[in-house]
A and B are shown apart, each in its own frame.
Chain A
Amino acid sequence: MTKALTLSDVNVTIRGSHILQGVNFEVQAGVVTGLLGRNGVGKSTTLRSIVGLVPRVGSIKLFDQEISGLKTHEVIRAGVGFVPEDREIFSTLTVLENLKLAERDKDPDYDTVYNLFPELLKRKGQRAGTLSGGQQQMVAVARALLNKTKLLLVDEPTKGLAPKLVTEVADALEVAAQATTILLVEQNLPLIKRIAKNIIVMDQGVVVHAGVPAELENPEFAKQMLGVSGGSH
């Protein structure tokens, strides 16, 4: 198994709070891995530590390259795409400007983006701040899909979206997964079951379990690990 990402003893302390307390896990290359856990256990911080948006200590390897000492833009340029929680699109820029800003490759893949999200082509001149939540999420995902990446980090892409949009985002991630490795933080368990091959569960700043999505079918497991019923989401 080729490892796309390896975290070894990653610690993050922010304003005195020890949020990640020695995180260790591996992400298999070429598949979607779900990063799960209750709210506030450090999933988003884990993604932010990988891209260097929070100060981190420990080893983070992208394939064979140590990236824990790199600055955020260097991590991204090493081949990591990042779709943050809450979209974080630039509301005063147009849709097209948001996408242009994300261009890194010489030949950004607008065809794939517009095929997946034709709505963005129709609204490319519209200010991103005036889009609906779902359309903003499309912009956030599209920014990451424009360039070829070795690893895509996606943080709760379906949060607050209507069911139809959840399906669209899931379709987009499935297309992306054909070309890259994805580490997906997601509370939507049916989505995880649909597209993830592996799961990693965190609790209180550490990894407490690594397994496969089929385990989520066990209500006891889902309740114990995530505090939810596996079948009800």
Chain B
Amino acid sequence: MEIFITLFITGFGLGALYFLVASGLSLIYGLMGVLNFAHGAFLTAGAYATWYFTTSIRADGSLSSYAMSLLIAGLVGALFAVATEQILIKYLYDRHIDQALVTVGLGLVATSAYLGWFGTDPLIVLPPTQLYNTVQIGEAFVGVDRFLYIGVAVLVLLANFLMMRYTRIGLIIRAGVENRAMVTALGIDVRKAFTFVFFIGGFAAGLGGALATTYASGVGPTLGDAFLIYAFITVVIGGMGSVPGTAIAAVIVGTTQVLVNYYVQGLGDFVVVMLLALVLLVRPQGLLGKVAH
């Protein structure tokens, strides 16, 4: 039982990281119809920012430095995302194939650039020692870092909920996901919402990148690519444009992957893909997605 608990919380933590990447992907697709294959590059940028900050600027290994590195990673991811939207995407709205090609290209270029700048070997990121501690749950001992991933993801989910529910920009985004043309027909410049969604999506991805350095004990050029695949699966299972759906799907994908990998060795990824196929067959719009009109 203790192994199950450890694995379950580890999978939950992994799901939290998937959620941080996938929530932005989901909103960007839901509002703008943009399949952003460069989203993993935002995560990697955040991860490298964390490495740089915690090794070159504040290498004291303290919790406060680590917390600052999370914030900076989020901002780096957000700025990268906004630049992507402003320089590339905004000229290609409603040209979905072109958008996909451009973001695929950007993702490849970014990975190559990371490789050129930082080399192929993963760079070690040492989190504060407090994150190496464990918490006892029943007879199981679970790493504190797992709870950090979950806590940050819950905070992002909560902030997202409050923003969507109680702010005008949230209202515009919710309406835009449903009918973008009609939002503009009410006199609203929906492109500002697009830029904002790229900002928050990039911020969450950068934050996810910072935490991923702890989960993966470092950062390499393809860190974001590895997460992006599962983030896309999460978005499709949860329902394009639905952040709560993405959260549920992230937990399902993360825990399934970790549990199956342990109990049926090496089949975790296969089962996740089967899960995706099942959802596409039974409920193509995803768990909480809406049927496209």
Residues of A within 8 A of B269 (CB): none
Cα(A41)–Cα(B172), bound, Å: 33
Number of interface residues of A (CB under 8 A): 21
Cα(A100)–Cα(B187), bound, Å: 12
Residues of A within 8 A of B183 (CB): 101
Are A101 and B172 within 8 A (Cβ)?
Answer: yes
Cα(A116)–Cα(B92), bound, Å: 42
Are B175 and A53 within 8 A (Cβ)?
Answer: no
Are A90 and B179 within 8 A (Cβ)?
Answer: yes
Please tell me if A8 contacts chain B, counting CB pairs below 8 Å. Answer: no
**Known contacts A93-B171, A100-B171, A101-B171; A71/B184 CB under 8 A:** yes
Quick one: CB contact mask for B177-215 with A, threshold 8 Å, 1 for yes? Answer: 011011111111110000000000000000000000000
Are A76 and B182 within 8 A (Cβ)?
Answer: no
**Known contacts A93-B171, A97-B171; A76/B185 CB under 8 A:** yes
Are A51 and B182 within 8 A (Cβ)?
Answer: no
Are A73 and B189 within 8 A (Cβ)?
Answer: yes
Cα(A104)–Cα(B181), bound, Å: 17
Residues of B within 8 A of A90 (CB): 174-175, 178-179, 182
Please tell me if A170 contacts chain B, counting CB pairs below 8 Å. Answer: no
Q: How far is the CB of A85 from chain B (nearest CB, A)?
A: 12
Residues of B within 8 A of A143 (CB): 186
A-B contact count (CB 8 A): 56
Closest residue on chain A to residue B178 by CB atoms: A90
Are B187 and A104 within 8 A (Cβ)?
Answer: yes
Q: How far is the CB of B190 from chain A (nearest CB, A)?
A: 7
**Known contacts A93-B174, A93-B175; A102/B186 CB under 8 A:** yes
Please tell me if A72 contacts chain B, counting CB pairs below 8 Å. Answer: yes
8 Å CB interface, A24-83 against B: 51, 53, 71-73, 76-77, 82
Cα(A143)–Cα(B179), bound, Å: 15
Residues of B within 8 A of A82 (CB): 185
Are A53 and B171 within 8 A (Cβ)?
Answer: no
8 Å CB interface, B36-87 against A: none
Please tell me if A92 contacts chain B, counting CB pairs below 8 Å. Answer: yes
Cα(A207)–Cα(B68), bound, Å: 65
Closest 8 CB pairs of A and B: A76-B187, A72-B184, A88-B182, A90-B175, A73-B189, A73-B184, A77-B187, A102-B186
Residues of A within 8 A of B188 (CB): 73, 101
Contact of A92 among B172, B174, B185 (CB under 8 A): B174
Most buried by B among A51, A72, A93, A97: A72
